[in-house]
Structure 1
Amino acid sequence: MKNFKIWFIIGFNVFFLCNTWHVESCAYFEPDWELYRFFNPELSQNSRFRPFYFSFSRFYESEDILQKNERDENLIEWQTFMENKVSTKDLETIIYKSTQADWDKIRSFVLLQKSLNDKKLAENSVVQYWATQKKDAEAIEYLSFAKKCERYTFIENPWAETPPNAQENLLAYSKEAEKRFASAKDVFIKLRYGYQAVRLAHYAKDFKRTILLYDNLLEPLKTENIVKYWAMAHKAGALQKMGQNALSAYLFAVVFEKSAAKRISSFLSCKIFTDEDWKKALSLCKNNQEKATLFFIRGIHPQNLILPEMMAIYSLLPESDYLDMLLLREINKIEMTLMPLRSTESGFANTDQVALYRAYIPKLKSFVMQYLKTAKNPQKQALWVMALGYCDYLLEKPQEARKSFALLKKESLSPDAQKQMQVFETMLELSELNILEKDTEEKIYQKIVATQSKALKELMRGTFARLYERQGEKAKAYLSSKTIYDIKIEQKFIDELIAFASQDSYTSYEKELLSKIDTQKPKAILQEIKATLLLREGNLEEAEKLFKQSGINLTLEGDPTSDEIIDCINCSRKKTYTKLNLISQIRTLEAQARKNSADAHHRLGNIYYNTTYFGHAWKAMDYFRSSSYLGKHTDCSKAQEYYEKAAQLYEKAGNREMAARLMFLAAKAEQNQMFQSDKFRKEQENKMFSNTIDHFFVPEYRTNFQNLKNKYRNTQFYRNAIKECYYFSYFAR
């Protein structure tokens, strides 16, 4: 018996053993878990458990679908009550979308035979049914009453204020529903008045009244109508509020089994915290089915290791559908941890969880083998044999997996099961590859494309990537998990990628890899990237040559030759330039600089500053800029060198204002060098919560601020700089 004191604690702790996501930029990143679901949870062929298939979301289906399920269950009841002579759409409109004013019109038209000046209502098949076939006063009065209560029982906007006197009105309506229950003749309507009386009392937080109303009004009714179980859920909730957790859990389990609409809420509400309450809840069960349901609810709590629950259910009901559902859920949960390790280089799971599941699978496998000894249903047998083989696959025992799969008679499998076996067989084929030749690659690729399985294709990519790496095919290995965006950001294997893009022929998978760069001109895109890297390195001749070969000459905003006292990275710019233009400008300015032109040194300093991470023309040398961390091209030393030389030349020419300006620009470049230094980083860590910015003034990186302060205090530029730059103002104080 699992100790209930730790039931939720186990789930909580295992949850936090769960996958530690990679972090990209400053945002949370969660993998697409469809890429790691290989065992189809819908093989159980029991859709009533669909919301509880394993998922990292709250439920397997969206909240909207779950809400629709509740409506559908009620609409089916009403449609049967109206002899299936009304449309579901019209019924939904009348019950869920009508207003109190609409109901006043319907009552007057059907019961008082007054005219109905409302085309939509007049054409509604429900209204027509009441008017022409069955003038059902009880049903009309009930639905009109339910609409009045809706103001207090259904709040569409969760942020809306509670209606005034809500509790008082809820109790008043509950008492009115109780009276109407007593006078109602039709059991269908009587049942619904009883339900309203119970739930209105529950919402009013009169828990004793809630329980009494259910026991006195609804319990005596000998009916299996789902509304009785809806009311039972309210009694269970009231019992829980009064501390009767065992009886509450038992009733929620009954509702869970009987009502699809209330299955989710019953699961969420069923809470037991002690062994004593668990034993009491089990003792209340009238049969093995009810006991199995309690074990099932306990088993599907998030991240719980559920083998004990499966064994308990098996001892009660060996052929229970609960077992199929729990088996699939458990395997889906395990594969979400272990399969990323095969699909990607590092995977997303932490080592503790991997070890936990690898030790757990043999125990699960033993139970699967025990189940198969007594299983009689052929479809169930096939499902469990597939699970047995997949357990061996997850344990990295492909030969054992093949032995298990060989037990299946494929011709007798359902289409979905046959498709599942194709997936498993392909997974085994991938796991046994030691070398990847082009004909093998093509064959496997075509087979996997035909399955339309996202998960299988991701596994293929991971497997191929490892084999390519082993075979020295770096470009293909890299592209198996990367895109053009990664190439531009990481700037790895550019030469290998260009060589790959220069091949004469390609396999189907190679074409897919190439399309990740560009569908039209991948080689040209890579040449442009390579040329940009050469430009960054200062190799102008080779860069120019490659830019021209690529045929790509992007127009970029800004003027790299201009300077700014305060950098503005994202300001819009009227001027434009291209990388080829920039190369031409650098050559011209370098020729002038050799003749000691102060202006040329100034403009070259601007170019080598503006094209770094810190400048507005950063796109000339890079493709991505994060506001959270420094990029690849951050070296401002060349800019600083040109600025300092320009300041000397301006000083020599007698232009002290420009000399002061260039000294300030040199100080900016020097400051950026400081930001990248280990000394500054350590100071930053030590002074993280300090109220001072003294650590921003590492002396060896403030020489130009010092020169500006010592030599140019009397210039107008100095006075302006004091006003514009807080760092300099603080330094010069």
Structure 2
Amino acid sequence: MKKYIISLSIASLFYTKTEACAWSDPDHDYFNLFTQSIIKDKSYLPFLHNYSDRFYTNYKPSQIPDENIESWRIFFGNQLSYTETNYLVNKISLNDLNELKKGNPNNQLLKKLGTGFYAKYREAIDYLIEAKYLEPYMRINFVEGADSFYYRENENDKNATKLDYNKTISALNSLYNAAKNPEIKQRYGYQLVRFNHYTRNYDSAVEAFKKYVQPIKLKGAPYYMALDQLAGAQRGLQLGNEANWNFFQVFMNSKSRKESSFVSMKLSDSASFNNIMKRAGTSEEKNMAYFLLGYEDFTNPIPMMEKMYDIDPDSEILKVMAARSINELERNYLPTYYYSSKDSSKNLDKKDNNSTTTKTEVKKKELSFWQKIVLFFKNLFGGKKSEKTDSKSEQSNDELFENPDRIPTFVKNNSYYWSEDQNQKDFIDDLEKFTAKTKEKSKDEYWQIADAYLKFLKKDYEDSSDILADIKTNNPEYLEEIKRMKVLNDIVSQPKIDADYEGHLMKDYPEYFVAKKQKRDSVLIEYDNYDYFGEAPSTAEFLKDVLANRYFLQGEDGKSFLMNNKLSDLQYNPNSSLVKSVEEFYRKPNKTQFEQQIIAKNLDNVGNIDAFFADIYGDRAMRLADFDKAKSYYQKALKFSGIPRENYETYNSETGKYEKLVYNGENYDGYNNIPNLVFGHNNWESFQGSDAESMKAEDYTQFPFIKTKMNKLELADALVQLRKIGTGKDAKAVQANQLIGNVLYNTSILGYYRQLFVMDVDNSNGGKYDFWATERQNPFQYYYKDFTNTTFIEPDNFDLAINYYKKAFDLSTDREQKARVLFQMASAEQGKYYQYEAKHQANIDYSDPKWSEKNDSYEKQMGDLKNQKYRTYFTQLKSQFSNTETARELLGSCSYFDYFMKR
């Protein structure tokens, strides 16, 4: 795991994933392949699906039309554009309008309209002058409460109470009575309702609506603006049901006020919905009520959608519900990373035991006649056959299609927020049935696109492609979605990604695979050090994941790794089988154009690549005590330029600052500057202290080849010589075997120098030093994405150290030396217990009423096992060597040994 030093202020208690910390944006963690915003009625954009905000925000506010501006535009005879009308109504200054009224317009737009404009629309301009005068004050006055704590010194103190109430009401009354045009008259009525509402004269606001707005039989924008204010006044009078109903009417009939009116409804309980449903007289009102109920309670969308379908299968709000439902499914079928199941043993066993997995039925794209001929000759002349073979790389098309880990696939409990019901329902079948019947009733191609997309998620690629091919539409948003889905179906339905298909990708879809920085969905995004959330996941990113998954399932681990990672990332998780596969790709002689431009570009900043691989292989050989092999690899790693830690910082206690790592020729860089204390033993158990404090040197006088500072080649050579000496029978052989045992223990997960053979720069804690709980050689299930966040290095073999210690113990005649060696053997035996313990966790549900009893039983069982099987050397040390000086020294430096001796 990358050792980034990050200060975490708080972690969200609602998130269930490890990556979902305080800075995480859940709406940044899915691909949005089905673009929700293609709905035609853009006024419902806020009600599309997202997690990070209450309302959907991934759109431009200008996409939602303002019916008030549209109303004014019609009033002015459509001689102004929407933008010009908005400027005139909302942005032009009061002074400019007064100049127009005087016949001397200075504003460019008003000059263009001319003085005749005022003469023709005198009442409208006079109204706008009055409205602009009132507007800065049209907000309710804030009343400080006993618990108020907000700092408001710099807040605008203008509100409705700052105006003279009687003068303002009198002026608006006069203007209302003088107006001849009904719409202008109603707009003055709106100002009267609003002014009374904001001055908290709620009763007067209600009366003003009845007297000035309602009698004018117009139900355009001014009416619903006034109704919105009336509902606010009714809320102030505690008339909750009346307020909700009127806000509901505003929600239904206003385009720009849907979000605000929805919030104002305060539909917090079933009674509020029931009251609205009871008053719903028309089919449209009932349909809208079902929509609100479905939006507020989205745990099971299909029943509510069925009710809406029965009323109007072609309604726009039904498409909104469908978009939300598809988005929810997409987040579970196409997350930006497929995490392992919480039940890791079941999850990880799935790949190792194919006979126990349930095969996924996939409708495959039928091969063309020409493809069948090509496949026939490939098989005939030495191509890979379609029969079953033992090689993962030679799986048949059927085997590849039926692999349960072939993405897209449903990930259970992929929700970002905690729910009491953690068994999420995969409602894709129900939604598919609903979509299929709706597309037969509705004339909107939306339902065909939705149906095709659901079939894509279900891996029904042939049917999905057929539906897309039959869609006839001129809607540009629909066309863009269809184009994207055709590409998705083509790539995801391909059974195997081979050289020919890679050529097809580069020829026909270069916009998704040409590696350069451009707009979203046009390229494979190059990762830089973005602030905050970085570039949003794109279609190209999804396709990259698909290909990484395909290579992974095909056994091409190196290519799979490099689709999502850089070569330098191997430093965080250098397990040998993956390293070998990556190296094989690196050395592949005739790479395809796709491999060269898309994959090989990630063979990056490790300096000398051959030395990089050689260092990793040498490290593994050292962990296996194969010192000769390690020496041969380290000979090839002489040009190793250091572990590439460009973003690494560590805390300097002397300066009190985090400092960037710089290899200065004296510190350990992954190859050089290893101190001879690696042959020593613990003075006390501490990873944080300096090696001079934590480690104690042995007597090296008989072994002049052990240098004060060594590189790995010199260290391996020293171990080769020690092993040869250790075959003897004398005291020197005893010491040689003890020193080898020390190196193997000190560089294990428990040792002070645990970083030396796992490509790490120091021993500070991290995922590399966890005891892994699986026997599997590869913990990854789908691909190697987020590789640096999942650490797995082959576990230590503590028996290797114990065997060398045992040779030393058996040969030695010195009781003090025997005591020291026994303690070292006991320490290594501890490692064997920790490995066993990690693989045999209790996994007791904390909600179990007998949790304490079961946990105590588990701990007793593990304690008994520890003492019976993993304390043999401690027991021998206690029974046979407790009277040695070494044992007495250990009592003072090892608290656990002290505890064990007193039992």
Q: Same fold (TM over 0.5)?
A: yes
The residue number in structure 2 matching 1:401 is 464
The alpha-carbon deviation at position 41 of structure 1 amounts to: 1.7
Residues in 1 aligned to 2:302 and 2:860: alpha-carbon distance in whole angstroms: 57
Which of 487, 494, 518 lines up with 2:604 in the alignment? 518
Within the alignment, does 1:488 sit opposite 2:573 as a pair?
Answer: yes
Paired residues of 1:33 and 1:336 also in contact (CA < 8 A): no
Identity %: 16
The alpha-carbon deviation at position 402 of structure 1 amounts to: 3.6
Which of 493, 499, 502 lines up with 2:587 in the alignment? 502
Which of 279, 285, 295 lines up with 1:300 in the alignment? 295
1:596 aligned partner, one-letter code:
A
Give the secondary-structure state (helix, strand or coil) at the position aligned to 1:492. Answer: helix
Moved more, 700-709 or 181-190: 181-190
The alpha-carbon deviation at position 364 of structure 1 amounts to: 1.9
Paired residues of 2:332 and 2:412 also in contact (CA < 8 A): yes
Deviations 1:616-667 (A, max 9, x none): 3222222474288415433333334444555677762x7x3x6544443333
Deviations 1:690-721 (A, max 9, x none): 79996596144334333444455455554443
- Alpha-carbon distance change, 364 to 643 in structure 1, aligned in 2, over 3 angstroms: same
The alpha-carbon deviation at position 370 of structure 1 amounts to: 0.9
Residues in 2 aligned to 1:213 and 1:722: alpha-carbon distance in whole angstroms: 87
The residue number in structure 1 matching 2:757 is 621
Within the alignment, does 1:84 sit opposite 2:108 as a pair?
Answer: no
Paired residues of 2:551 and 2:557 also in contact (CA < 8 A): yes
Paired residues of 2:406 and 2:549 also in contact (CA < 8 A): no
Residues in 2 aligned to 1:249 and 1:646: alpha-carbon distance in whole angstroms: 88
- Alpha-carbon distance change, 473 to 601 in structure 1, aligned in 2, over 3 angstroms: closer
Residues in 2 aligned to 1:545 and 1:469: alpha-carbon distance in whole angstroms: 31
Residues in 2 aligned to 1:27 and 1:200: alpha-carbon distance in whole angstroms: 41
Paired residues of 1:138 and 1:184 also in contact (CA < 8 A): no
The alpha-carbon deviation at position 399 of structure 1 amounts to: 3.8
Moved more, 539-548 or 476-485: 476-485
Give the secondary-structure state (helix, strand or coil) at the position aligned to 1:620. Answer: coil
2:149 aligned partner, one-letter code:
E
Residues in 1 aligned to 2:543 and 2:90: alpha-carbon distance in whole angstroms: 55
- Structure 1 vs Structure 2 CA RMSD: 5.5
Residues in 2 aligned to 1:237 and 1:508: alpha-carbon distance in whole angstroms: 67
The alpha-carbon deviation at position 445 of structure 1 amounts to: 4.5
Residues in 2 aligned to 1:140 and 1:342: alpha-carbon distance in whole angstroms: 65
The residue number in structure 1 matching 2:829 is 670
2:640 aligned partner, one-letter code:
I
Residues in 2 aligned to 1:433 and 1:667: alpha-carbon distance in whole angstroms: 55
- Alpha-carbon distance change, 461 to 526 in structure 1, aligned in 2, over 3 angstroms: farther
Residues in 2 aligned to 1:678 and 1:590: alpha-carbon distance in whole angstroms: 32
Deviations 1:586-620 (A, max 9, x none): 22433444453354344323211121111232222
Residues in 2 aligned to 1:422 and 1:593: alpha-carbon distance in whole angstroms: 71
The residue number in structure 2 matching 1:528 is 615
The alpha-carbon deviation at position 518 of structure 1 amounts to: 3.2
Deviations 1:307-326 (A, max 9, x none): 55556556666664324433
1:161 aligned partner, one-letter code:
F
Deviations 1:35-60 (A, max 9, x none): 54322222225443333222344456
Within the alignment, does 1:438 sit opposite 2:499 as a pair?
Answer: yes
Within the alignment, does 1:584 sit opposite 2:717 as a pair?
Answer: yes
The alpha-carbon deviation at position 583 of structure 1 amounts to: 1.3
The residue number in structure 2 matching 1:365 is 436
Residues in 2 aligned to 1:25 and 1:492: alpha-carbon distance in whole angstroms: 30
Residues in 2 aligned to 1:22 and 1:350: alpha-carbon distance in whole angstroms: 10
- Alpha-carbon distance change, 528 to 727 in structure 1, aligned in 2, over 3 angstroms: same
The residue number in structure 1 matching 2:149 is 161
Residues in 1 aligned to 2:441 and 2:59: alpha-carbon distance in whole angstroms: 40
Residues in 1 aligned to 2:137 and 2:547: alpha-carbon distance in whole angstroms: 65
Equivalent runs, 1:207-286 vs 2, <5 Å: 212=203, 214-216=205-207, 220-222=211-213, 224=222, 228=226, 231=229, 234=232, 244=240, 248=244, 251-252=247-248, 254-255=250-251, 258=254, 260=256, 263=259, 266=262, 270-271=266-267, 273-274=269-270, 278=273, 280-285=275-280
Residues in 1 aligned to 2:888 and 2:621: alpha-carbon distance in whole angstroms: 41
The residue number in structure 2 matching 1:547 is 634
Which of 419, 423, 429 lines up with 2:484 in the alignment? 423
Deviations 1:473-524 (A, max 9, x none): 4543565566654782554343333222111232344233334453676665
TM-score for both structures, normalised by structure 2: 0.57
- Alpha-carbon distance change, 29 to 726 in structure 1, aligned in 2, over 3 angstroms: farther
Paired residues of 1:296 and 1:309 also in contact (CA < 8 A): yes
Deviations 1:334-392 (A, max 9, x none): 333345688638652369867531243122211122112xxxxxxxx343332343344
Residues in 1 aligned to 2:842 and 2:878: alpha-carbon distance in whole angstroms: 24
- Alpha-carbon distance change, 58 to 578 in structure 1, aligned in 2, over 3 angstroms: farther
TM-score for both structures, normalised by structure 1: 0.69
Which of 630, 633, 638 lines up with 2:771 in the alignment? 630
Paired residues of 1:531 and 1:543 also in contact (CA < 8 A): yes
Residues in 2 aligned to 1:232 and 1:724: alpha-carbon distance in whole angstroms: 79
Paired residues of 1:675 and 1:681 also in contact (CA < 8 A): no
- Alpha-carbon distance change, 357 to 245 in structure 1, aligned in 2, over 3 angstroms: farther
- Alpha-carbon distance change, 534 to 37 in structure 1, aligned in 2, over 3 angstroms: same
Which of 780, 786, 801 lines up with 1:639 in the alignment? 801
Which of 611, 616, 619 lines up with 2:747 in the alignment? 611
Deviations 1:279-331 (A, max 9, x none): 64145357655444333323333535445555655666666432443333333
Residues in 1 aligned to 2:455 and 2:842: alpha-carbon distance in whole angstroms: 54
Residues in 1 aligned to 2:710 and 2:23: alpha-carbon distance in whole angstroms: 36
- Alpha-carbon distance change, 495 to 32 in structure 1, aligned in 2, over 3 angstroms: farther
Deviations 1:130-183 (A, max 9, x none): xxx99x999789857969x45749x9xxx973689xxxxx9x998999778646
Which of 326, 329, 335 lines up with 1:334 in the alignment? 329
Within the alignment, does 1:39 sit opposite 2:126 as a pair?
Answer: no
Equivalent runs, 1:16-95 vs 2, <5 Å: 35-59=30-54, 61=56, 84-85=92-93
Paired residues of 2:503 and 2:594 also in contact (CA < 8 A): yes
Give the secondary-structure state (helix, strand or coil) at the position aligned to 2:731. Answer: coil
